[in-house]
């Protein structure tokens, strides 16, 4: 009788143990719904021991502040008909610190002196080269942008932040003078500039003798502005006042106002030797506006003038690739930056393109970030347009692109792949800098493409932040990278 009793006790004990274990499982299950951390801790205990499989560490991103491409970015600080009038220098003064922090090293100001349109002038109708907003003429004392004192304060603050200040110089034409008889034209012309006729400063007074009487060569046949008041740069007096004298425009702007460089307006209107002589006198950074999409024309001009030019060839290839023809093969076309990368100033928009009603002369808003990704990863010196940077929808992405440009955009440019809706480019970097890979897609789906890199057995990261994909290269440097729908990614290594 004892053995059956023991068996019965054992069965009850086993049943009790089973019930206890079942109840314990319910408690643990209830806890997992309320507190995931408990589950994680429990799993750690259950999974402990020598056979535990380690969780791979997340790749550590590069600290981009520790890398330098050796180049920063210029900011164009205006658009057509900026508002509020008379407050623009103060408006810019409030922004330059943020621009400097973002990686800007030069600011290009609008034409800073009095124009014929007075309080409404954007400066491209120059009247008095020495009135920075201190003389009463053309209906105002300040220029559209403010007073001389405010301009000087802006320049001083910019210098304190390490920013160079670029003056916009109009040497082709004048406007706003008084009528006088011009014997070369056998009639009256607005060629009298003195203290009472559009030149209140009294410096560089002009008469009909200082302007071309007619078109003397092909350069002046191209002139679009005020043919009767195109300055005669062959005249010694004009040369003296523009760049040779100690109080010439060039030297006054540099030595008295503190400008560090020059943006020359409409250089099709005068010969390149004018710029060469100007630069021999005052030096500094300089770029010319040769509004021409033909890379050969730009190439010849930079060789003759000896300074940089805005790369209109690159601008129009981007417009064709992203807008007009929707074909990225156009990005493989001829551009100034491919011929003279050190003399190509690239851009996506400026004051002229943004107001142009011809859609083929501007890059559509929806494509601008792809275009900025292009210029901020390729060679050439990129320029950011004020209205784009100050657009809240663009600013964060532009800041990231500027940081990538200033850190990783270095080394030889190599196109790895291009077709109608994909473009892949590599900057090869150097011994201290890994470089980058840009992947642009205009397709309607996420794209992936295998490419050859010099990065062996390393995990990559999209530093633009547009992709969360984390590929790893093989022992030969082959890796598959990704581009988002109708967007771009910018890849480099992790630590």
Confidence (pLDDT) at 364: 97
User: At residue 82, does pLDDT exceed 70?
Assistant: yes
Confidence (pLDDT) at 72: 98
Contact between 399 and 376 under an 8 Å Cβ cutoff? The reply is no
445-453 mean pLDDT: 98
For 416-493, CATH number? 2.60.40.1180
CA atoms of 476 and 471, how far apart (whole Å): 14
For 68-410, CATH number? 3.20.20.80
User: At residue 487, does pLDDT exceed 60?
Assistant: yes
63-89 mean pLDDT: 98
CA atoms of 413 and 200, how far apart (whole Å): 52
Percentage of residues in the chain with pLDDT exceeding 70?
86
With vertex at residue 136, the alpha carbon angle to CA 133 and CA 138, rounded to the nearest 5 degrees, is 95
Percentage of residues in the chain with pLDDT exceeding 90?
83
450-477 mean pLDDT: 98
Higher pLDDT, 183 or 27: 183
Size of the chain in residues: 495
What is the residue extent of each domain of the chain? 68-410, 416-493
Contacts of 207 (CB under 8 A, 6+ apart): 180, 191, 192, 193
CA atoms of 108 and 128, how far apart (whole Å): 20
Confidence (pLDDT) at 7: 35
Q: How confident is the model at residue 224 (pLDDT cuts 50, 70, 90)?
A: low
CA 245 to chain centre: 35
Q: What is the DSSP letter of 61?
A: P
Q: Rounded to 5 degrees, what are φ and ψ at 241?
A: -75, -30
Confidence (pLDDT) at 24: 36
Q: How confident is the model at residue 122 (pLDDT cuts 50, 70, 90)?
A: very high
Task: Please report the beta strands in 348-443, taking only residues with DSSP state E, as ranges in sequence order.
Answer: 381-385, 413-418, 422-427, 436-441
Averaged confidence pLDDT in the chain: 89
Cα–Cα distances in angstroms (integers) from residue 75 to residues 166, 386, 401, in the given order: 10, 7, 14
Confidence (pLDDT) at 2: 34
Residue with tokens 């034209």: 185
384-406 mean pLDDT: 98
Confidence (pLDDT) at 47: 28
Whether the upstream peptide bond of residue 270 has omega within 30° of 0, thus cis, is: no
Contact between 114 and 135 under an 8 Å Cβ cutoff? The reply is yes
User: At residue 221, does pLDDT exceed 60?
Assistant: no
User: At residue 448, does pLDDT exceed 70?
Assistant: yes
- For residue range 155-193, what is the model confidence (pLDDT) as tens digits? 999 999 999 999 999 999 999 999 999 888 888 999 999
Q: How confident is the model at residue 48 (pLDDT cuts 50, 70, 90)?
A: very low
48-60 mean pLDDT: 52
Q: How confident is the model at residue 37 (pLDDT cuts 50, 70, 90)?
A: very low
With vertex at residue 382, the alpha carbon angle to CA 250 and CA 440, rounded to the nearest 5 degrees, is 165
380: left (phi over 0), alpha (psi -120 to 50) or beta: left
CA-based end-to-end distance of the chain: 75
With vertex at residue 284, the alpha carbon angle to CA 155 and CA 312, rounded to the nearest 5 degrees, is 95
Q: How confident is the model at residue 223 (pLDDT cuts 50, 70, 90)?
A: low
Confidence (pLDDT) at 49: 34
């Amino acid at each position: 009788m004892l053995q059956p009793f023991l068996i019965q006790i054992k069965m009850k004990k086993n049943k009790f143990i089973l019930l206890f274990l079942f109840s314990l499982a319910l408690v643990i299950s209830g806890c997992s719904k309320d507190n995931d951390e408990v589950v994680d801790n429990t799993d750690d205990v259950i999974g402990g021991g020598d056979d535990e499989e380690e969780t791979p560490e997340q790749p550590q991103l590069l600290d981009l502040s520790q890398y330098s491409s050796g180049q920063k970015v210029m900011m164009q600080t205006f658009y057509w008909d900026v508002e509020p009038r008379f407050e623009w220098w103060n408006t810019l003064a409030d922004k330059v610190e943020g621009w400097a922090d973002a990686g800007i090293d030069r600011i290009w100001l609008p034409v800073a002196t009095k124009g014929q349109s007075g309080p409404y002038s954007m400066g491209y109708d120059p009247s008095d080269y020495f009135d920075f907003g201190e003389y009463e003429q053309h209906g105002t004392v300040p220029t559209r942008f403010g007073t001389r004192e405010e301009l000087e304060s802006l320049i001083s603050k910019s210098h304190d932040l390490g920013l160079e200040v670029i003056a916009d110089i109009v040497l082709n034409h004048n406007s706003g003078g008084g009528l006088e008889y011009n014997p070369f034209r056998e009639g009256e012309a607005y060629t009298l500039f003195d203290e009472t006729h559009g030149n209140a400063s009294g410096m560089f007074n002009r008469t009909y003798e200082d302007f071309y009487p007619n078109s003397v060569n092909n350069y002046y046949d191209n002139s679009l502005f005020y043919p009767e008041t195109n300055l005669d740069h062959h005249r010694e007096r004009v040369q003296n006042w523009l760049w040779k004298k100690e109080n010439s425009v060039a030297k006054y702007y540099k030595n008295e106002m503190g400008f560090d460089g020059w943006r020359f307006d409409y250089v099709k209107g005068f010969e390149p030797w004018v710029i060469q002589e100007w630069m021999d006198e005052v030096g500094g950074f300089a770029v010319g506006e040769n509004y021409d999409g033909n890379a050969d024309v730009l190439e010849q001009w930079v060789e003759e003038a000896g300074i940089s030019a805005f790369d209109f060839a690159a601008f129009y290839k981007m417009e064709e690739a992203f807008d007009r023809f929707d074909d990225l093969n156009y990005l493989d076309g001829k551009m100034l930056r491919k011929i003279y990368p050190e003399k190509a100033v690239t851009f996506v928009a400026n004051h002229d393109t943004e107001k142009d009603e011809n859609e083929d002369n501007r890059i559509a808003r929806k494509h601008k970030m792809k275009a900025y990704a292009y210029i901020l990863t390729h060679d050439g010196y990129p320029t950011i347009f004020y209205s784009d940077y100050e657009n809240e929808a663009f600013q964060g992405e532009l800041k990231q692109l500027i940081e990538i440009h200033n850190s990783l955009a270095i080394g030889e440019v190599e196109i790895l792949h291009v077709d109608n809706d994909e473009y892949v480019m590599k900057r090869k970097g150097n011994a201290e800098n890994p470089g980058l890979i840009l992947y642009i897609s205009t397709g309607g789906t996420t794209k992936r493409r295998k490419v050859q890199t010099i990065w062996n057995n390393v995990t990559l990261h999209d530093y633009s932040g547009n992709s969360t994909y984390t590929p790893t290269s093989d022992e030969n440097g082959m890796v598959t990278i990704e581009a988002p729908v109708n967007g771009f990614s910018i890849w480099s290594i992790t630590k």
